[in-house]
A and B are shown apart, each in its own frame.
Chain A
């Protein structure tokens, strides 16, 4: 058994193509990858929203004024 389809390198490289694991599962891997990407956006949207809600109540007027002046 070999996950890449070759148990040794006794091959003519002119006849070798893909050598990654899970050949034939490219579409499934793409689906998993796309889910990872979309879930990342979802988590980030939610967290940033929560953070901004908290942040808008945190501002001390003097500190905000100083921050504006500091540019």
Chain B
């Protein structure tokens, strides 16, 4: 640290990211509550365990290779590019900066911020497949989406030097595409192979609603996701940086907050836009779903996700309207796809995350047409076709295709779906029978003790 101002900036930035990471933990808590609330009683423990184990599995793999991919892959064999081993070197698990190191106070918290995004990507997929996927299969998907595919898309479209940013003018400030479209697309690929839960469709193909066993748990869960999402927004920014540190086209000496591309924005702007897009989403979802609680709450989330690509630059009223429009499209698309293709997306994740992300990217292409996505010279500006191409890469190429192909391999090997008998009797009984037996045993023991010690009333 060269001087007190630099020291203060570094320590502030370190603390800033640390706080965002703690906030973002609430996203995972929320996803767990949401999934358990949405699942039926006989599957609770399995559903919870399936999501909880995403945390360690994605964490260790993101430490081993996920973080390296982000720094080494921005130009991965695109337009003459190659793996950037120099940039990746400081982010390998054996690098001294990936450890306790008094010369580097940022890598750890920045890594953790990205890691929490990884958990989210995996957790989105987890929700779609509840009550019938094998945990072992899901945990392979979690590692693939959390530590491989989403971080490749981040290197390409969410890195200041990513090829999609340079050549397509791809702009996705708060991750409509890089988290949500890819995770939704991946989930779609998995559920196409996995198939619906028993009873989801009537003999004539009409979809049946499988209501959540606990709407209150589901509600608190989604409110926690909103809260964590706020932290996520802050985590996508660089809190304070000088133009000479950015070393791009910006002149003068005015320090600024930036988005992930090092282009200027403010924390104030994204606070306006987060709340207005949440509100637009909630209002539109309430109307379009005729007051359905599940869709109204999810619509708030979908509203934010739709506006996220451009929420660093939108006006708050634009953010509200983009959120509202996105929700209407997503809601209609969800039911059309469900009916047409007989797909069982248990928590609506493909729609809320995937379709919202795609729609949000495309809308940003029109609303921000011609705006610079990067502060560096020679980069493409934002266009509808750049955003649409980005949406296809996120949702289909890096999301849907890997999810579909890996699920096909798992299905061929007989390790994707649980047996029908187990699905009917419930995963908790089949896989956690010791818990059920112990519960029954202790209840019987308590009853016997009560009978032996209670004096009958006169």
- A residues bordering B, Cβ < 8 Å? 1-4, 6-16, 19-22, 26, 29-30, 32-33, 36-37, 40, 43-44, 47
3 smallest beta-carbon distances between A and B, as pairs: A12-B252, A2-B370, A13-B254
State in angstroms the CA–CA spacing of A14 and B371 once bound together.
19
State in angstroms the CA–CA spacing of A15 and B321 once bound together.
29
Known: A6-B372, A29-B315. 19 other contacts (CB 8 A): A2-B369, A2-B371, A3-B371, A6-B371, A8-B372, A9-B249, A10-B250, A11-B249, A12-B252, A12-B254, A13-B252, A16-B264, A21-B313, A21-B314, A21-B315, A21-B368, A26-B315, A32-B317, A36-B324
Question: How many residues of chain B get a CB closer than 8 Å to chain A's CBs?
Answer: 35
Chain A residues lying within 8 Å of B447, measured Cβ to Cβ, are none
Q: Would you call B318 an interface residue if the criterion is a C-beta within 8 Å of the partner chain's C-beta atoms?
A: yes
Do B248 and A1 touch across chains, with their CB atoms under 8 A apart?
no
Do B250 and A3 touch across chains, with their CB atoms under 8 A apart?
no
Chain B residues lying within 8 Å of A20, measured Cβ to Cβ, are 313-315, 318
Q: Would you call B283 an interface residue if the criterion is a C-beta within 8 Å of the partner chain's C-beta atoms?
A: yes
State in angstroms the CA–CA spacing of A40 and B291 once bound together.
12
Do A9 and B321 touch across chains, with their CB atoms under 8 A apart?
no
State in angstroms the CA–CA spacing of A54 and B181 once bound together.
40
Q: Would you call B375 an interface residue if the criterion is a C-beta within 8 Å of the partner chain's C-beta atoms?
A: yes
- For this complex, 6 residue pairs linking A to B, each with C-beta atoms less than 8 Å apart, are A6-B371, A11-B251, A12-B254, A21-B314, A36-B321, A47-B291
- Give the contacting residue for B318; candidates A7, A22, A43; CB below 8 A: A22
Chain A residues lying within 8 Å of B377, measured Cβ to Cβ, are 8, 10
B267 to chain A, nearest CB (A): 14
A42 to chain B, nearest CB (A): 10
Do A9 and B250 touch across chains, with their CB atoms under 8 A apart?
yes
Do A2 and B283 touch across chains, with their CB atoms under 8 A apart?
no
Contact with A along B165-177 (1 / 0, CB 8 A): 0000000000000
State in angstroms the CA–CA spacing of A15 and B330 once bound together.
40
Chain A residue at smallest Cβ distance from B253: A14
State in angstroms the CA–CA spacing of A36 and B277 once bound together.
13
Do A11 and B250 touch across chains, with their CB atoms under 8 A apart?
yes
- Give the contacting residue for B250; candidates A13, A21, A40; CB below 8 A: A13
Contact with A along B365-409 (1 / 0, CB 8 A): 001111110110100010000000000000000000000000000
State in angstroms the CA–CA spacing of A1 and B381 once bound together.
10
Do A10 and B251 touch across chains, with their CB atoms under 8 A apart?
yes
Interface of chain B residues 185 through 209 with chain A (CB within 8 A): none
- Give the contacting residue for A3; candidates B243, B287, B370; CB below 8 A: B370
Do A14 and B254 touch across chains, with their CB atoms under 8 A apart?
yes
Chain A residues lying within 8 Å of B249, measured Cβ to Cβ, are 8-11
State in angstroms the CA–CA spacing of A14 and B370 once bound together.
22
Chain B residues lying within 8 Å of A19, measured Cβ to Cβ, are 264, 313
Do A1 and B251 touch across chains, with their CB atoms under 8 A apart?
no
- Give the contacting residue for A44; candidates B286, B315, B368, B372; CB below 8 A: B286
Q: Would you call B290 an interface residue if the criterion is a C-beta within 8 Å of the partner chain's C-beta atoms?
A: yes
Q: Would you call B121 an interface residue if the criterion is a C-beta within 8 Å of the partner chain's C-beta atoms?
A: no
State in angstroms the CA–CA spacing of A10 and B253 once bound together.
13
Chain B residues lying within 8 Å of A14, measured Cβ to Cβ, are 252-254
Chain A residues lying within 8 Å of B318, measured Cβ to Cβ, are 20-22, 29
Chain B residues lying within 8 Å of A6, measured Cβ to Cβ, are 371-372
